[in-house]
Amino acid sequence: MKCTDITLKVLVLVVLILGSVLGNIPMVFGQGGLETEPNHPCPMAQRFEAIPFPFTVDGSLDSTPESPDVDFFKFTGTPGASVRVDLEGQPTGKGSLEDPFLGFFDSACNLIAVNDDFQSLNSRLLLTIPADGVFILAATVCYDGGFLGGGVGTYQMTITPFAAIRSISGRVIDALTGDPLPGNTDPFTFVRLLRCGEFGCSDVNGLPADSEGRFLFNRDFTGQPLEVGTFQVIAFANEYQQGQTDPLEVAEGEDRDLGDVPLQPFPVRFSEIRPCGDLPPEGGTCSYSVRVTNRLGTTLNGAAWSLVFSGGIGSLIDFTNFQTANPTGMTLASEASKVVQFSFDVPSTIRDGALICTQVFFGQNRRAPFFNTLGQKNLFCILKGFTGGFSVVPEKEAQEMFRQLNGRTLTPPKGK
């Protein structure tokens, strides 16, 4: 072995010993560093100061019942710069820690963001370096949300710069009329932003359109910048077919305006919804109606029916869904309409806090309408209060419930 090798190893050993005795000494090992104790709680974070990118830290959580371990690291960087932090353990062979949990703090040890799992049990955060240039990262185990320690195993933390886009925006419109489709009133347009990769597309964020049908994304679920990549937008609105863009590449610093995203209306329109209104604690009959209009240029033969969904009802399986009655057949000339009545009984035995929601469908062909659906609309929800009685849920709140029933809610990755 060369003397220089021996000297280098001795120097590293001395620094490690001093770090464990004195703590908080600046440490930089070229493109990487080693974790040393003590480095918790947050004010005692191990200081690496300014670092070259990419930068890795190899560390170990050595918790015992008497001494739970969590590792904090303090860095200095360019304010406003974007970096990606990966905390990897057993899932990618970067250590033995089974389920890493990553935290991002400012210089005053205020928690800014966390991540549990990112496409695996490993963790990832995309973050912007704060205005004072100081950021603190913490490595622990799932789910140590208070960063008090408790994990056992080795890990590797990697910090790399990443290129961020500025925004993705657009407007959702009616494909036939060109009118904007608002998100704060009917048809309650909701837009999802997806990132696409080798294994398909997954949700990045989602929000209702504004009163003019416009949307703008510049952050992900956690409030972090959007990394350069391939994105797709999917838009939903009541009584419209789902619309989506083709996957599109967005470059660093780009404000991508998608223009208009058109949605095709259903051939059947529902209007003049009249809910059953409030019911007493002892329950009763919920009678309601809706007007059905044929938007086609030809006569339409079909049938309408209503479905009821209810949860938290107190039964053995605690939920139910059913059709109120046989479909109501009708023949509608072009632009003609008809009011359809529905009803169902609500028992007093339903548990307080139960939610009951109604929907209407229309299908072509009276003999087999269920498999020839041309239109659907979310009608209303009623809630049994904890002081007794059933009341109609405000429309905006009901729309969020319907999105969940229809599977149109966004699905953030686990841990976000």
First CA to last CA distance, the chain: 49
**Residue 309, Cβ neighbours under 10 Å: how many?**
17
The topology (CATH level 3) of 3-161 is Jelly Rolls (2.60.120)
Rounded to an integer, the average pLDDT of 305-326 is 94
Least confident span in 69-78, 133-142, 324-333, 381-390: 381-390
Q: What percent of the chain has pLDDT over 70?
A: 89
What pLDDT, in 10s, does the model give residues 147-204? 999 999 999 999 999 888 999 999 999 999 999 999 999 899 999 999 998 778 889 9
| Sequence-ordered list of residues with C-beta below 8 angstroms from that of 148, at least 6 positions apart, any chain | 68, 70
The pLDDT score that the predictor gives to residue 14 is 37
What distance in Å separates the CA atoms of residue 157 and residue 259, rounded to the nearest whole number?
40
Residue 27 has pLDDT above 70, yes or no: no
Rounded to an integer, the average pLDDT of 338-366 is 94
Residue 219 has pLDDT above 60, yes or no: yes
**Structural contact between residues 231 and 196, judged by C-beta atoms closer than 8 angstroms:** yes
Residue 10 has pLDDT above 90, yes or no: no
Among residues 215, 238, 177, 281, the alpha carbon closest in space to that of 376 is found at: 238
Average pLDDT, the chain: 88
| Position 113, amino acid | A
If you search the block for the tokens 């058109």, which residue do you land on? 262
The yes-or-no answer to whether 3-161 and 268-405 have a common fold is no
Q: How confident is the model at residue 119 (pLDDT cuts 50, 70, 90)?
A: confident
The pLDDT score that the predictor gives to residue 405 is 65
More confident call, 33 vs 24: 33
CA distances from 211 to 172, 220, 306 (A): 11, 22, 29
Rounded to an integer, the average pLDDT of 234-250 is 95
What distance in Å separates the CA atoms of residue 389 and residue 348, rounded to the nearest whole number?
9
The pLDDT score that the predictor gives to residue 108 is 97
The pLDDT score that the predictor gives to residue 128 is 87
Rounded to an integer, the average pLDDT of 22-30 is 38
Residue 241 has pLDDT above 90, yes or no: yes
The pLDDT score that the predictor gives to residue 403 is 72
The two three-digit tokens of residue 360, written as one number: 């209407």
What distance in Å separates the CA atoms of residue 408 and residue 412, rounded to the nearest whole number?
12
Residue 396 has pLDDT above 90, yes or no: no
Q: How confident is the model at residue 2 (pLDDT cuts 50, 70, 90)?
A: very low
What distance in Å separates the CA atoms of residue 123 and residue 94, rounded to the nearest whole number?
12
| Position 220, amino acid | D
What distance in Å separates the CA atoms of residue 40 and residue 149, rounded to the nearest whole number?
9
Q: How confident is the model at residue 61 (pLDDT cuts 50, 70, 90)?
A: very high
The pLDDT score that the predictor gives to residue 388 is 76
CATH number of 268-405: 2.60.40.10
The pLDDT score that the predictor gives to residue 402 is 80
Strands (E) across 275-354 are located at 284-294, 300-311, 319-323, 328-332, 337-346
Q: How confident is the model at residue 414 (pLDDT cuts 50, 70, 90)?
A: very low
CA distances from 36 to 16, 17, 43, 120, 304 (A): 7, 9, 15, 27, 69
Cα-based angle 219, 199, 234 (whole degrees, multiple of 5): 50
The pLDDT score that the predictor gives to residue 127 is 86
What distance in Å separates the CA atoms of residue 16 and residue 60, rounded to the nearest whole number?
14
More confident call, 367 vs 323: 323
What distance in Å separates the CA atoms of residue 240 and residue 250, rounded to the nearest whole number?
28
Q: For residue 404, with 0-12 CB atoms within 10 Å meaning exposed, 13-18 middle and 19 or more buried, which class applies?
A: exposed
Tell me the domain boundaries of the chain: 3-161, 167-263, 268-405
Residue 169: strand pairing partners: 216, 257
The two three-digit tokens of residue 112, written as one number: 């800014």
**Structural contact between residues 393 and 374, judged by C-beta atoms closer than 8 angstroms:** no
Which of 1.10.10.10, 1.10.150.240, 2.60.40.180, 1.10.510.10 is the CATH number of 167-263?
Answer: 2.60.40.180
Q: How confident is the model at residue 45 (pLDDT cuts 50, 70, 90)?
A: very high
The pLDDT score that the predictor gives to residue 4 is 36
The pLDDT score that the predictor gives to residue 407 is 55
The pLDDT score that the predictor gives to residue 20 is 39
What distance in Å separates the CA atoms of residue 389 and residue 380, rounded to the nearest whole number?
16
What distance in Å separates the CA atoms of residue 10 and residue 58, rounded to the nearest whole number?
19
Is 0.85 surpassed by the pTM of this model? no
Least confident span in 72-76, 136-140, 236-240, 403-407: 403-407
